[in-house]
A and B are shown apart, each in its own frame.
Chain A
Amino acid sequence: MTEKTPPDDELNLNKPVAPPPELVDHLDDEQREPEWLTEATERPPETPHIDHYDDEDDPDRWQESEDTAELAANEDESAPEHPWSQAEHDAAEVVQLKIRRQDDPFSTPYWQLFDIPSHERDNVLSLLRTLREHPITGSGERVDPVAFEHQCMEEVCGSCAMLINGRPRMACSALIADLEQPIVLEPLPKFPLVRDLMVDRSRLFEHLKRVQAWIHVDGAWDIHQPGLRIAQQQWARDYLYSRCMHCGCCMAACPQYDEHLDFVGPATLAQVRLMNAHPNGRATRSTRLHAIMGDGGLSDCGNAQNCVKVCPKEIPLTTAIGELGRATTVQLIKDFFGSSEP
């Protein structure tokens, strides 16, 4: 038993359906274009949908109603600011944050202290989110909200790396209960500062270009055949490296890595290790090895092992560096004997 698509007229194709009556009433009794859009701003007339914005002659155009005027008048400008509601304060333990702030790349840094009510299982990121709503210091001064980066809140996007009590780690997985107070927050070192806890990590991606951390496929189209097989054991080893989220923690901890130095850093080296192991990546293995054989490459690593201790994804960075050491040695020998085979 099959059913035909119902005829168009029944579906009101392209005919506006009247909103429910309750809605119509509501729609008719007032114009809802906010004042700030109608008065302060004008979208260019070329875009036809905006006629309502600039229709100055429309008698129904939304005007500041008496209600809003009254509201504005009632607003007591001098009322003291209460950062937290009493209930919020009572419900939670107060946590002290000490944050290193800097308004822009060129100004001088300074410290601020904040007391923030915290719930069970809060993390540093959730406190920063609470704080941006009430950016008031412990001494009651209203300040600009602290700038910080975050996306996933579950330690997978790599955005929220910062120094927490001196250690590079992800703010979203740093549980308050496990931290000593005051919790000291600083921007991730080794990267140019943008503002407060935000840094510019674009270097990381330049490093990846430098070592050609990609598999050179001919094109992203279908070639009608499956990929090469990978044994489970190899998969288990390689998979570890594929989870690097380029947070930069390992770079921040590495004594050899710095804004002003050439070293591509541990995470980048680990990507070389990963790409070189993949059956398709093997073909261009020597190009990547050569990229890390000169200045700024493998030999810049002083084997301090800091990187592997701070990686939130527990990526075996030093193992990768060790493997690459052997691979580059073999490559050197090959190069010496002029072997063309990769």
Chain B
Amino acid sequence: MKGREVIVVGGGISGLWAALRLAESGHRVLLFSLFEVMRSHSASAQGGINAVLDIKGQRDSIFQHVQDTIKGGAYLANQPPVKALCEAAPGLLHTFERMGVMFSRTAEGLLDQRLFSGVRHQRTCFAGTSTGQQLLYSLDQQVRRLEAEKRIEKYEWWEFLAIVKSPQGRCCGIVAMNLRSLEVRPFRADAVVLATGGIGQLYAPHTTCSTSATGAAASRVYQQGAQFANAEFFQFHPSAMLGHDKTRLMSEAVRGEGGRVWVPRQARDRRTASAIPESDRFYFLEEWYPRYGNNVPRDLAARAIWKVTRMLGLGVGGGDRVYLDITHLDATMVEQRLGSLLTLYRKFSGIDPLSQPMEIFPAAHYSMGGLWIDYEKDASGSLVMGSPRNHATNIPGLYACGECDYAYHGANRLGANSLLSAAFSGRITGEAAAAYLSGLMQGHESLGDQPFEAEVRYQNQINHHFIHAGGDQNPYRMHRELGELMTTNVGVVRDNGPLDSSIVQLYDLEQRFARLHLAEGHPWANQTLAYARQVLDMVKLAQVVAVSARNRDECRGAHYKPAFDLEPPPHAYPGDAAYDSYRKRWQTNNTRWLKTTIAEYHPEGPRIHYEPVDTSMVAPSEPRDYR
């Protein structure tokens, strides 16, 4: 087979997997990243990666993993991709093991597994407390080997700006900008894989995400016609440290290992944590959800903390903070299993969590929504592996995988499932794109230079305009405004009034780019230029999030609108009449709202339509109940 050119944009776990599989299929891979790929956001993942290995004698099963993922996601994920994901997980883990990932071990030398929230089986493999870093590095090493063999060519310090389409609408390459020389250049390819990660920076600084998680790349292809799905589903991690430059994540592994969340029962209790006796402590997660306790899924935990602080006014010192306590645990065990988390907390807060409880609050963490992608279902209800339809966006030749797709987590993601989906989706996207390439009769050679040159000219004009716009709007300040707006109005709790006003404000924010003041005209390594461009595309994407949220009048997973809440009646359980009528209402609501939101670009704002969800494996008959 004659290899073709293929571009992978993004060097996180997902992009690197895709690049590996494409190179292994004999294609020439051009790998783009904003910086050296090993700096990607994937490195920040601490907690772990899920796979059913059942080494703890708990009778864990793949079906249980599928079910947990689907129910955790409030049934919103199409089930065939989820099934394929869970089936492939053990094999993926073993592949990572072969590539040299230093997974933590049991005394027998086997892969150790820990408990993560939202499930009742120990299913999470981990490499100390730096799992994402280890997974990323193992792939980085494999890619470097192929790079040394000239099968992959890296373009680090290049920013993806746009795809280039043929007159028939096929994706035939990209235009990218060198972040040092600011050169804007076309790159031809027969397929493009986008693996550009999440969008947490829309909520900055109230986010656990790295600075590159802007969603700008996804926004750019969205503005070029790619559909964006389920944008309203954004996960707020319940436990982030307090901070005004960034709210650093305190992994839920802390709760998995026995950490307890509490506030003083008395509002504005002035005593220090250690001086408050057990009887005066409100372990609200354990009281409200006795079955799962501190390990309830993230959305429930984040809202519970929101409720305790914002509605009951019980936040520590009356503020936006609650305690995450590990002082009762065995110090040696904690140090061994959570060592680097404790170091992180000590480093950035100056407090030792072994002697004093940590202080945490929810922060923007993970986008379940993302670019819409297709899949091909097989007879068993799983995916047809190697089908060119898997992970294809609605633009032919353009693929998406990793956090920037929408496929696996429905309305809410379970902990440790996204490293898995990033790896799995990268692998099958590489295979899908390879299949697409071998099916192509004609490559980009048949296309003249004109569309490439025209796109380069367009992008250069934007640069020119940004550098010379002589207004008064500072891009850094606009970004902060965006973050505040999104956090307050499109955050943990949503109401239609504030959503409407934020949509208006987002349009105004976009308009203000006409009065941009870059304050930097330097032609070399001009960081403000790249940044300002990203902020504009973030504003465009924020509009998608806000409009999608405005249109969905229900509560599902991470999308919570109290005005439409359907809570199970207190003290009623399956079998009680009150519960049965609640279940009925829940099912009626599903008939109306169990559907995928799809946003399409329109200059006047996103256009929304809906698509049914494939629930062929686990039918949505029972509401989720973690009490």
Contacts and interface: CB of A to CB of B under 8 A. Distances in A.
Interface string B457-488: 11001101100010110101100000000000
A1 B583 CA distance: 11
A128 to B, nearest CB: 10
Interface stretch (A33-41, A322-330, A331-339): A33-41
Contacts of B379: none
A208 interface: yes
Interface in B235-257: 243-246, 248-249
Nearest to B474: A133
Interface string A130-154: 0011010000001011010111111
Nearest to B606: A19
Contacts of B465: 36, 40-41
B94 A227 contact: yes
B107 A232 contact: yes
Interface residues of A, number: 111
B457 A44 contact: yes
Given A205-B36, A217-B99, A243-B130, A41 B458 contact: yes
A149 B210 CA distance: 12
Main secondary structure of the interface of A (DSSP, over half): loop
Contacts of B450: 44, 46
A146 B130 CA distance: 31
Contacts of B40: 151, 157
Interface in B409-429: 427
Contacts of B102: 235, 238-239, 242
Contact of A27 (B210, B455, B604): B604
A34 B148 contact: no
Contact of A280 (B100, B166, B476): B100
Interface in A141-176: 142, 144-145, 147, 149-159, 173, 175
A84 B613 CA distance: 51
B587 A32 contact: no
A213 B212 contact: no
A158 B130 CA distance: 13
Which size class do B's interface residues fall under?
35 or more
Interface string A64-101: 00001001100100000000000000000000000000
A222 B94 contact: yes
Contacts of B248: 153-154
A104 B524 contact: yes
Interface string B32-75: 00011011110110000000000000000000000000000000
A154 B458 contact: no
B590 interface: yes
B281 interface: no
A111 B97 CA distance: 49
Contacts of A150: 211
A216 B504 CA distance: 55
A293 B507 CA distance: 62
A72 B512 CA distance: 12
A155 B133 CA distance: 11
Contacts of A261: none
B338 to A, nearest CB: 14
A48 B514 CA distance: 24
A3 B584 CA distance: 11
Contact of A151 (B21, B35, B130, B611): B35
11 contacts: A3-B591, A11-B612, A32-B603, A47-B164, A152-B43, A153-B246, A154-B246, A154-B248, A155-B344, A215-B100, A215-B138
Given A17-B609, A36-B514, 13 more contacts: A5-B612, A6-B594, A34-B514, A122-B245, A153-B248, A157-B44, A219-B24, A223-B98, A229-B110, A235-B102, A239-B128, A242-B101, A280-B100
